[in-house]
Amino acid sequence: MKNKTSFLPREGEAQPSKCPDNSAFKQQRLPAWKPQLTIASVLSSFFLTGAFCLTVGVCLVLSANSVREIQIDYSDKCSDCSKLRENSSNWNKACHCSLNFTLKEDILGDVFMYYGLQNFYQNHRRYMMSRSNAQLLGRNVNIQRSSCEPFSTYRNGTPMVPCGAIANSMFNDTIDLFYSHNSSMIQVPLLKTGNSWWTDKNVKFRNPESYNLSSAFAGTARPPYWQKPVYLLDEEDERNNGYVNDDFIIWMRVSAFATFRNLYRRVRQVRRFAEGLPAGNYTFQISYNFPVTRFKGRKHVILSTVVWSGGSNPFLGIAYLVSGTAATMTGFVITGIHLKLRKKKTYFQKQ
Protein backbone atom coordinates (compact mmCIF):
# COMPACT_ATOMS: atom_id res chain seq x y z
CA MET A 1 0.00 0.00 0.00
CA LYS A 2 1.38 3.35 -1.05
CA ASN A 3 2.01 6.06 1.47
CA LYS A 4 -0.45 8.97 1.28
CA THR A 5 2.43 11.40 1.20
CA SER A 6 3.57 9.94 -2.14
CA PHE A 7 0.76 11.86 -3.87
CA LEU A 8 2.02 15.20 -2.64
CA PRO A 9 4.43 17.20 -4.87
CA ARG A 10 8.04 16.72 -3.97
CA GLU A 11 10.36 19.53 -3.08
CA GLY A 12 11.47 21.42 -6.12
CA GLU A 13 8.57 20.31 -8.27
CA ALA A 14 6.15 22.94 -9.64
CA GLN A 15 2.64 22.70 -8.29
CA PRO A 16 -0.11 22.48 -10.96
CA SER A 17 -1.81 25.80 -11.55
CA LYS A 18 -5.57 26.14 -11.08
CA CYS A 19 -5.78 29.14 -13.36
CA PRO A 20 -7.50 28.65 -16.74
CA ASP A 21 -5.41 28.47 -19.87
CA ASN A 22 -4.27 31.69 -21.44
CA SER A 23 -6.54 31.36 -24.48
CA ALA A 24 -8.97 33.81 -26.01
CA PHE A 25 -11.92 31.55 -25.19
CA LYS A 26 -11.10 30.84 -21.54
CA GLN A 27 -9.89 34.38 -20.88
CA GLN A 28 -13.04 35.82 -22.51
CA ARG A 29 -11.16 37.80 -25.14
CA LEU A 30 -13.28 36.60 -28.08
CA PRO A 31 -14.83 39.34 -30.22
CA ALA A 32 -18.43 40.01 -29.24
CA TRP A 33 -21.26 42.03 -30.68
CA LYS A 34 -23.17 44.21 -28.27
CA PRO A 35 -26.20 45.92 -29.80
CA GLN A 36 -26.50 49.62 -29.17
CA LEU A 37 -30.15 50.19 -28.31
CA THR A 38 -31.31 53.48 -29.74
CA ILE A 39 -34.81 54.89 -29.78
CA ALA A 40 -35.03 54.27 -33.53
CA SER A 41 -34.05 50.60 -33.31
CA VAL A 42 -36.35 49.90 -30.35
CA LEU A 43 -39.40 51.57 -31.88
CA SER A 44 -38.84 49.96 -35.27
CA SER A 45 -38.59 46.52 -33.62
CA PHE A 46 -41.89 46.97 -31.79
CA PHE A 47 -43.77 48.42 -34.76
CA LEU A 48 -42.44 45.83 -37.24
CA THR A 49 -43.29 42.99 -34.86
CA GLY A 50 -46.75 44.42 -34.32
CA ALA A 51 -47.38 44.85 -38.04
CA PHE A 52 -46.22 41.29 -38.77
CA CYS A 53 -48.35 39.71 -36.03
CA LEU A 54 -51.43 41.73 -36.99
CA THR A 55 -51.07 40.76 -40.65
CA VAL A 56 -50.66 37.07 -39.88
CA GLY A 57 -53.50 37.20 -37.34
CA VAL A 58 -55.94 38.78 -39.79
CA CYS A 59 -55.04 36.16 -42.42
CA LEU A 60 -55.52 33.29 -39.97
CA VAL A 61 -58.86 34.59 -38.67
CA LEU A 62 -60.22 35.15 -42.18
CA SER A 63 -59.01 31.69 -43.18
CA ALA A 64 -60.69 30.06 -40.16
CA ASN A 65 -63.94 31.92 -40.84
CA SER A 66 -63.99 30.65 -44.44
CA VAL A 67 -64.30 27.03 -43.23
CA ARG A 68 -67.72 25.53 -43.90
CA GLU A 69 -68.93 23.60 -40.89
CA ILE A 70 -72.17 21.98 -39.74
CA GLN A 71 -72.46 20.73 -36.17
CA ILE A 72 -75.47 18.77 -34.87
CA ASP A 73 -76.02 17.75 -31.25
CA TYR A 74 -77.78 14.39 -31.14
CA SER A 75 -77.70 13.81 -27.38
CA ASP A 76 -81.38 14.75 -26.92
CA LYS A 77 -82.63 13.75 -30.36
CA CYS A 78 -81.59 10.16 -29.61
CA SER A 79 -82.95 10.25 -26.05
CA ASP A 80 -84.73 6.88 -26.36
CA CYS A 81 -81.49 5.16 -27.30
CA SER A 82 -79.70 7.03 -24.55
CA LYS A 83 -82.10 5.66 -21.92
CA LEU A 84 -81.69 2.16 -23.32
CA ARG A 85 -77.89 2.35 -23.14
CA GLU A 86 -77.90 3.54 -19.53
CA ASN A 87 -78.80 -0.02 -18.54
CA SER A 88 -75.68 -2.11 -19.13
CA SER A 89 -77.78 -5.28 -19.54
CA ASN A 90 -79.04 -3.91 -22.88
CA TRP A 91 -75.59 -3.87 -24.46
CA ASN A 92 -76.61 -6.42 -27.13
CA LYS A 93 -79.82 -4.60 -28.15
CA ALA A 94 -79.49 -2.45 -31.25
CA CYS A 95 -80.87 1.07 -31.21
CA HIS A 96 -80.96 3.48 -34.16
CA CYS A 97 -81.94 7.11 -34.60
CA SER A 98 -81.87 9.56 -37.49
CA LEU A 99 -81.08 13.26 -37.83
CA ASN A 100 -82.31 15.34 -40.76
CA PHE A 101 -80.66 18.54 -41.92
CA THR A 102 -80.46 20.69 -45.05
CA LEU A 103 -77.51 22.15 -46.90
CA LYS A 104 -78.53 25.44 -48.48
CA GLU A 105 -75.25 25.71 -50.42
CA ASP A 106 -72.76 23.25 -51.83
CA ILE A 107 -69.82 22.29 -49.66
CA LEU A 108 -66.96 22.04 -52.12
CA GLY A 109 -63.60 20.38 -51.62
CA ASP A 110 -62.57 17.77 -49.06
CA VAL A 111 -65.30 17.17 -46.47
CA PHE A 112 -64.45 15.58 -43.13
CA MET A 113 -66.83 14.00 -40.62
CA TYR A 114 -66.02 14.27 -36.90
CA TYR A 115 -67.66 13.07 -33.73
CA GLY A 116 -67.50 15.45 -30.80
CA LEU A 117 -67.73 14.77 -27.07
CA GLN A 118 -68.41 17.29 -24.34
CA ASN A 119 -67.61 16.92 -20.62
CA PHE A 120 -65.56 13.76 -21.23
CA TYR A 121 -62.29 14.10 -19.30
CA GLN A 122 -59.54 12.15 -21.02
CA ASN A 123 -56.83 14.16 -19.25
CA HIS A 124 -57.16 12.36 -15.91
CA ARG A 125 -53.77 10.89 -15.02
CA ARG A 126 -55.07 7.43 -14.08
CA TYR A 127 -57.02 7.31 -17.32
CA MET A 128 -54.09 8.41 -19.48
CA MET A 129 -51.75 5.83 -17.89
CA SER A 130 -54.24 2.99 -18.28
CA ARG A 131 -52.73 1.37 -21.38
CA SER A 132 -49.94 -0.99 -22.38
CA ASN A 133 -47.63 0.25 -25.13
CA ALA A 134 -45.92 -3.13 -25.30
CA GLN A 135 -49.23 -4.78 -26.01
CA LEU A 136 -50.18 -2.18 -28.63
CA LEU A 137 -46.88 -2.86 -30.40
CA GLY A 138 -47.83 -6.53 -30.70
CA ARG A 139 -45.00 -7.76 -28.47
CA ASN A 140 -47.12 -9.48 -25.84
CA VAL A 141 -50.86 -10.00 -26.11
CA ASN A 142 -51.25 -11.45 -22.61
CA ILE A 143 -50.41 -8.61 -20.19
CA GLN A 144 -50.83 -9.85 -16.62
CA ARG A 145 -49.34 -6.97 -14.64
CA SER A 146 -49.41 -3.49 -16.09
CA SER A 147 -50.90 -0.06 -15.61
CA CYS A 148 -54.09 -1.34 -17.30
CA GLU A 149 -55.61 -2.39 -13.97
CA PRO A 150 -58.49 -2.94 -13.34
CA PHE A 151 -59.07 -3.47 -17.08
CA SER A 152 -56.31 -6.03 -17.49
CA THR A 153 -57.86 -9.46 -16.91
CA TYR A 154 -61.26 -10.90 -16.05
CA ARG A 155 -61.88 -12.74 -12.79
CA ASN A 156 -61.25 -16.09 -14.47
CA GLY A 157 -57.82 -14.91 -15.62
CA THR A 158 -58.71 -14.26 -19.26
CA PRO A 159 -56.69 -11.24 -20.49
CA MET A 160 -58.50 -8.26 -21.97
CA VAL A 161 -57.28 -7.22 -25.39
CA PRO A 162 -56.68 -4.36 -25.71
CA CYS A 163 -56.32 -3.61 -22.03
CA GLY A 164 -56.79 -0.37 -20.16
CA ALA A 165 -59.48 2.23 -19.47
CA ILE A 166 -58.77 4.19 -22.66
CA ALA A 167 -59.44 1.23 -24.93
CA ASN A 168 -62.43 0.07 -22.87
CA SER A 169 -64.18 3.46 -23.26
CA MET A 170 -63.65 3.65 -27.03
CA PHE A 171 -66.31 5.60 -28.93
CA ASN A 172 -68.42 3.04 -30.80
CA ASP A 173 -71.37 4.87 -32.34
CA THR A 174 -71.82 4.08 -36.04
CA ILE A 175 -72.70 7.10 -38.20
CA ASP A 176 -73.82 6.90 -41.85
CA LEU A 177 -74.75 9.81 -44.11
CA PHE A 178 -77.55 9.69 -46.71
CA TYR A 179 -78.44 12.18 -49.43
CA SER A 180 -82.08 12.65 -50.48
CA HIS A 181 -82.43 12.95 -54.26
CA ASN A 182 -85.70 12.59 -56.17
CA SER A 183 -87.45 10.88 -53.25
CA SER A 184 -84.66 8.31 -52.99
CA MET A 185 -81.95 7.99 -50.36
CA ILE A 186 -78.35 7.76 -51.66
CA GLN A 187 -75.69 6.72 -49.18
CA VAL A 188 -72.74 9.09 -49.20
CA PRO A 189 -69.52 7.05 -49.64
CA LEU A 190 -67.23 7.52 -46.65
CA LEU A 191 -63.58 6.56 -46.19
CA LYS A 192 -62.75 4.86 -42.90
CA THR A 193 -59.00 4.42 -43.53
CA GLY A 194 -56.21 6.92 -44.05
CA ASN A 195 -57.45 9.11 -41.18
CA SER A 196 -54.66 8.39 -38.66
CA TRP A 197 -51.10 9.69 -38.61
CA TRP A 198 -48.41 7.75 -40.45
CA THR A 199 -46.30 7.45 -37.30
CA ASP A 200 -49.22 5.92 -35.41
CA LYS A 201 -50.05 3.45 -38.13
CA ASN A 202 -46.48 2.32 -38.75
CA VAL A 203 -44.56 2.98 -35.52
CA LYS A 204 -46.73 3.13 -32.39
CA PHE A 205 -49.32 0.47 -33.24
CA ARG A 206 -48.63 -2.96 -34.70
CA ASN A 207 -50.48 -6.26 -34.78
CA PRO A 208 -48.83 -9.41 -33.39
CA GLU A 209 -47.17 -11.53 -36.02
CA SER A 210 -49.37 -14.47 -37.03
CA TYR A 211 -50.90 -15.98 -40.14
CA ASN A 212 -54.27 -14.51 -39.10
CA LEU A 213 -55.45 -12.17 -36.35
CA SER A 214 -58.00 -14.54 -34.82
CA SER A 215 -55.25 -17.02 -33.94
CA ALA A 216 -52.97 -14.21 -32.71
CA PHE A 217 -55.61 -13.14 -30.19
CA ALA A 218 -56.66 -16.67 -29.22
CA GLY A 219 -57.27 -17.09 -25.49
CA THR A 220 -58.14 -13.42 -24.99
CA ALA A 221 -61.42 -11.55 -24.62
CA ARG A 222 -62.73 -8.15 -25.68
CA PRO A 223 -62.96 -5.32 -23.12
CA PRO A 224 -66.21 -5.19 -21.12
CA TYR A 225 -67.75 -2.28 -23.05
CA TRP A 226 -66.88 -3.59 -26.51
CA GLN A 227 -69.42 -5.35 -28.71
CA LYS A 228 -66.89 -7.22 -30.86
CA PRO A 229 -63.28 -8.42 -30.47
CA VAL A 230 -60.36 -6.34 -31.66
CA TYR A 231 -59.72 -8.51 -34.73
CA LEU A 232 -63.27 -7.83 -36.02
CA LEU A 233 -63.38 -4.04 -35.69
CA ASP A 234 -63.68 -3.71 -39.47
CA GLU A 235 -65.38 -6.70 -41.06
CA GLU A 236 -65.10 -5.19 -44.55
CA ASP A 237 -61.35 -4.53 -44.63
CA GLU A 238 -59.01 -7.05 -42.99
CA ARG A 239 -56.11 -4.59 -43.14
CA ASN A 240 -58.05 -2.23 -40.86
CA ASN A 241 -58.37 -4.68 -37.97
CA GLY A 242 -56.57 -5.21 -34.72
CA TYR A 243 -54.40 -2.54 -33.18
CA VAL A 244 -53.95 -0.75 -36.54
CA ASN A 245 -57.66 0.08 -36.88
CA ASP A 246 -57.94 3.80 -37.64
CA ASP A 247 -60.86 4.45 -35.28
CA PHE A 248 -59.00 2.72 -32.45
CA ILE A 249 -55.75 4.61 -33.11
CA ILE A 250 -57.50 7.99 -33.18
CA TRP A 251 -59.34 7.24 -29.92
CA MET A 252 -56.14 6.19 -28.17
CA ARG A 253 -54.70 9.67 -28.83
CA VAL A 254 -56.23 11.26 -25.73
CA SER A 255 -57.38 14.86 -25.68
CA ALA A 256 -56.11 17.56 -23.34
CA PHE A 257 -59.54 19.14 -22.84
CA ALA A 258 -62.96 17.89 -21.76
CA THR A 259 -64.56 19.05 -25.01
CA PHE A 260 -62.95 17.65 -28.13
CA ARG A 261 -63.60 16.19 -31.56
CA ASN A 262 -62.01 13.26 -33.36
CA LEU A 263 -61.88 12.55 -37.06
CA TYR A 264 -64.34 9.79 -37.93
CA ARG A 265 -64.69 9.63 -41.72
CA ARG A 266 -63.85 11.44 -44.96
CA VAL A 267 -66.26 11.89 -47.83
CA ARG A 268 -65.08 9.88 -50.82
CA GLN A 269 -65.18 12.18 -53.84
CA VAL A 270 -66.76 9.97 -56.48
CA ARG A 271 -69.75 10.24 -58.81
CA ARG A 272 -72.34 12.68 -57.47
CA PHE A 273 -69.99 13.73 -54.66
CA ALA A 274 -66.91 14.26 -56.83
CA GLU A 275 -66.68 17.96 -55.88
CA GLY A 276 -67.97 17.65 -52.34
CA LEU A 277 -71.47 17.64 -50.88
CA PRO A 278 -74.18 19.19 -53.09
CA ALA A 279 -76.94 21.31 -51.60
CA GLY A 280 -80.03 19.41 -50.52
CA ASN A 281 -81.54 17.32 -47.76
CA TYR A 282 -79.39 14.89 -45.78
CA THR A 283 -79.92 12.35 -43.02
CA PHE A 284 -77.55 10.97 -40.40
CA GLN A 285 -78.34 7.35 -39.54
CA ILE A 286 -76.81 6.64 -36.13
CA SER A 287 -76.41 3.34 -34.35
CA TYR A 288 -76.37 4.57 -30.75
CA ASN A 289 -73.94 2.64 -28.52
CA PHE A 290 -71.98 5.23 -26.50
CA PRO A 291 -73.89 6.50 -23.40
CA VAL A 292 -73.08 9.97 -22.07
CA THR A 293 -75.94 10.77 -19.68
CA ARG A 294 -74.26 9.54 -16.49
CA PHE A 295 -71.37 12.02 -16.76
CA LYS A 296 -73.64 14.81 -18.14
CA GLY A 297 -71.94 14.69 -21.51
CA ARG A 298 -73.06 15.71 -24.97
CA LYS A 299 -72.42 14.18 -28.38
CA HIS A 300 -72.09 15.95 -31.72
CA VAL A 301 -71.57 14.99 -35.32
CA ILE A 302 -69.70 17.55 -37.42
CA LEU A 303 -69.21 18.02 -41.15
CA SER A 304 -66.35 20.39 -41.92
CA THR A 305 -63.92 21.47 -44.60
CA VAL A 306 -60.28 22.46 -44.11
CA VAL A 307 -58.17 25.31 -45.43
CA TRP A 308 -54.44 25.97 -45.62
CA SER A 309 -54.36 26.94 -41.92
CA GLY A 310 -56.31 23.90 -40.74
CA GLY A 311 -59.84 23.73 -39.35
CA SER A 312 -62.26 26.31 -37.99
CA ASN A 313 -60.37 27.01 -34.76
CA PRO A 314 -59.53 30.77 -34.68
CA PHE A 315 -57.35 30.54 -31.55
CA LEU A 316 -54.02 30.91 -33.34
CA GLY A 317 -55.24 33.94 -35.30
CA ILE A 318 -56.58 35.60 -32.15
CA ALA A 319 -53.27 34.95 -30.38
CA TYR A 320 -51.40 36.70 -33.21
CA LEU A 321 -53.82 39.64 -33.09
CA VAL A 322 -53.39 40.03 -29.34
CA SER A 323 -49.59 39.85 -29.62
CA GLY A 324 -49.52 42.33 -32.51
CA THR A 325 -51.80 44.76 -30.66
CA ALA A 326 -49.67 44.53 -27.51
CA ALA A 327 -46.44 45.18 -29.47
CA THR A 328 -47.97 48.14 -31.32
CA MET A 329 -49.38 49.71 -28.16
CA THR A 330 -46.03 49.27 -26.42
CA GLY A 331 -44.37 51.08 -29.30
CA PHE A 332 -46.78 54.01 -28.97
CA VAL A 333 -46.24 54.16 -25.20
CA ILE A 334 -42.45 54.23 -25.64
CA THR A 335 -42.83 56.93 -28.31
CA GLY A 336 -44.92 59.06 -25.96
CA ILE A 337 -42.43 58.68 -23.11
CA HIS A 338 -39.53 59.54 -25.42
CA LEU A 339 -41.20 62.70 -26.76
CA LYS A 340 -42.10 63.81 -23.26
CA LEU A 341 -38.55 63.33 -21.96
CA ARG A 342 -37.01 65.00 -25.01
CA LYS A 343 -39.28 68.01 -24.60
CA LYS A 344 -38.35 68.22 -20.94
CA LYS A 345 -34.64 67.96 -21.76
CA THR A 346 -34.90 70.74 -24.36
CA TYR A 347 -36.66 72.99 -21.84
CA PHE A 348 -33.87 72.61 -19.25
CA GLN A 349 -31.18 73.18 -21.88
CA LYS A 350 -32.76 76.54 -22.79
CA GLN A 351 -32.74 77.52 -19.12
Q: Is the residue at 128 inside a domain?
A: yes
Please check the confidence at residue 15 and state whether its pLDDT lies above 70.
no
Which of 34-38, 67-71, 202-206, 246-250 has the highest mean predicted lDDT (pLDDT)? 246-250
Q: Is the residue at 231 inside a domain?
A: yes
DSSP state of 159: B
Q: Is the residue at 48 inside a domain?
A: no
Q: Which residues lie below 8 Å from residue 157, measured CB to CB, with a gap of 6+?
A: none
Q: Is the residue at 325 inside a domain?
A: no
Please check the confidence at residue 157 and state whether its pLDDT lies above 70.
yes
What would the pLDDT profile of 43-55 be if each residue is shown by its tens digit? 999 999 999 999 9
Q: What's the pLDDT score for residue 7?
A: 52
Mean pLDDT of the 165-188 span: 93
Mean pLDDT of the 171-198 span: 92
Note down the domain range covering 161.
59-313
Q: Is the residue at 151 inside a domain?
A: yes
Q: Is the residue at 66 inside a domain?
A: yes
If one counts the domains in the chain, the total is 1
What would the pLDDT profile of 55-68 be if each residue is shown by its tens digit? 999 999 999 988 99
Q: Is the residue at 43 inside a domain?
A: no
278 SS3 class: coil
CA 237 vs CA 191, 234, 240: distances in Å:
11, 6, 6
Q: Which residues lie below 8 Å from residue 203, measured CB to CB, with a gap of 6+?
A: none
What would the pLDDT profile of 81-127 be if each residue is shown by its tens digit? 888 888 777 777 889 999 999 999 999 989 999 999 999 999 999 99
Cβ atoms of 133 and 116 within 8 Å: the answer is no
Q: What's the pLDDT score for residue 248?
A: 96
Q: What's the pLDDT score for residue 257?
A: 92
Q: Is the residue at 44 inside a domain?
A: no
Q: What's the pLDDT score for residue 266?
A: 95
The pLDDT mean for the chain works out to: 88
193 SS3 class: coil
